[in-house]
Amino acid sequence: MSNRFKPKYNIKKGDTVVVIAGDDKDLTKPRKVLEVIIDKGRVVVEGVSIVTKHTKPSAANTKGGIVKKEAAINISNVQLWDAKTSAPTKVTRTRENGKLVRISKKSGEVIK
C-alpha cells in the first residue's frame, strides 16, 4: 500500500463481523475482531484462519512446541454484523455533533 495516504476502514478492533469469503466463510456466525492491521489492509478474527506455529524453547516459553493461533485475513473478506437484523451489513459514515459515526445500512442504527 502507498504510504502517502492512510486508508480508512469501517472495521475496528472489538467489532463483530462475519467472514464472507475464504475457507472459513460463514454468513451466519458472527465473530470478534482481535486486531486491525491498517498498513496491510488485514484483520485478525477470532477462530478464523488458524495456523500452527512451531516455537523453540526460550526464557518466556520454556517448553516450546506447537502453538495454534489466528492468522490475518484480508479486510475485504469480512463484513460488519448488524445485531438488530441478525445479518451482515454495509456501513455509511456521517457526522453527528462534529464526530464521525458509523451507521448500518440495513437497520439505520449507529454502530458503537
Question: Would 106 be classed as within a structural domain?
Answer: no
Instruction: Output phi, psi for 16, to 5 deg.
Output: -100, 125
Using the 8-state DSSP alphabet, how is residue 59 labeled? S
> What's the pLDDT at 6?
86
CATH number for the domain that contains residue 25: 2.30.30.30
Question: Would 4 be classed as within a structural domain?
Answer: no
Number of domains in the chain: 1
Q: What are the per-10-residue average pLDDT scores of the chain (112 residues)?
A: 82 96 94 96 96 94 92 97 94 94 94 85
Question: Would 94 be classed as within a structural domain?
Answer: no
> What's the pLDDT at 2?
64
Question: Would 101 be classed as within a structural domain?
Answer: no
Confidence (pTM):
0.84
Contact 15, 98 (CB under 8 A): no
Question: Would 42 be classed as within a structural domain?
Answer: yes
> What's the pLDDT at 69?
95
> What's the pLDDT at 61?
86
Question: Would 52 be classed as within a structural domain?
Answer: yes
Q: In terms of residue numbers, what domain contains 78?
A: 16-57+65-84
